[in-house]
Structure 1
Amino acid sequence: MVVTTTNAVEGRKVVEYKDIVFGEVITGINFFKDIGAGLRNMFGGRSQGYEDELCNARNEALEEMKRRAASLGANAVIGVDIDYEVLGSDNGMLMVTASGTAVTVE
């Protein structure tokens, strides 16, 4: 499955536009990662726990988007955009959304 942020796949012709597809992941940040991030915020440095969680959520959202595109018979997703949001009353939830246009290319 070709996935690109551009509106075309270089050297290949789009022969059919299938539909807009999405992959959404909502994940919670656990108590221990919050403690670690709080310490990093106080003393400086990167929060590896949050970075890992963000990376995993992004990868899961992209995989979900590709699965949905494949179920439509697409072999590529073009114009991909990834959005991040913090949710919940205590901002303890992370939402990652990947979206694009499912297409068939030659």
Structure 2
Amino acid sequence: MIITTTNKVQDKKILEYKGIVFGEVITGVNFLKDLGAGLRNFFGGRSQGYEKELSSARTEALEEMKERAKKIGASAIVGVKMDYEVLGADNGMLMVTCSGTAVVIEE
């Protein structure tokens, strides 16, 4: 399935609009990753633990959106947007959401 941030798929005609689809993932960041990130914040450098968690959450959200699009008969998703938020009393949760328009494109 083609997933794109553009409003169309190059060289393909959109035959039908199926509706808006979403993917949402909320994941906790564990104590060790938080500790490592705190040290990197103090000393400088990248936080690989947070980066891996973010990458994994983004992949899961896109997969969830793709599965929802398949269930309604779509063959592509256009106009995809991604958003990231920190949640929880101690900001220990990461929310990744994505949305797009599920469409049927010519083969």
- TM-score class, shorter-chain normalisation, is over 0.9
Q: Shift of the alpha carbon at 1:48?
A: 0.2
* Same amino acid, percent of matched pairs: 72
RMSD: 0.3
- Asked whether 1:17 is paired with 2:17, we answer yes
Which residue of structure 2 lines up, in the alignment, with residue 98 of structure 1? 98
2:30 alignment partner in structure 1: 30
Which AA in structure 1 matches 2:27? T
**In structure 2, C-alpha distance between the alignment counterparts of 1:86 and 1:19, rounded to whole Å:** 28
Secondary structure in 2 matching 1:61: helix
Distance 2:84 2:2 in 1: 22
Which residue is equivalent to 1:6? Answer: 6
* Helix, strand or coil at the partner of 1:7: coil
Task: Report the number of matched residues.
Answer: 106
Residue 63 of structure 1 corresponds to which residue in structure 2? 63
- Give a deviation string over 1:1-56, Cα, whole Å, max 9, x none: 01000000010000000010000000000000000000000100000000000000
Structure 1 unaligned spans of 5+: none
TM-score when normalising by structure 2? 0.98
With structure 1 as the length reference, what TM-score do the two structures score? 0.99
Instruction: Render the CA deviation track for 1:47-98: whole Å, top value 9, x for unaligned.
Output: 0000000000000000000000000000000000000000001000000001
Runs of 4+ with deviation above 4 angstroms: none
Q: Distance in 1 between matches of 2:68 and 2:102?
A: 9
Q: 2-side partners of 1:30 and 1:40: how far apart?
A: 16
Report the 3-state secondary structure (helix = DSSP H, G, I; strand = E; otherwise coil) of the residue aligned with 1:52: helix
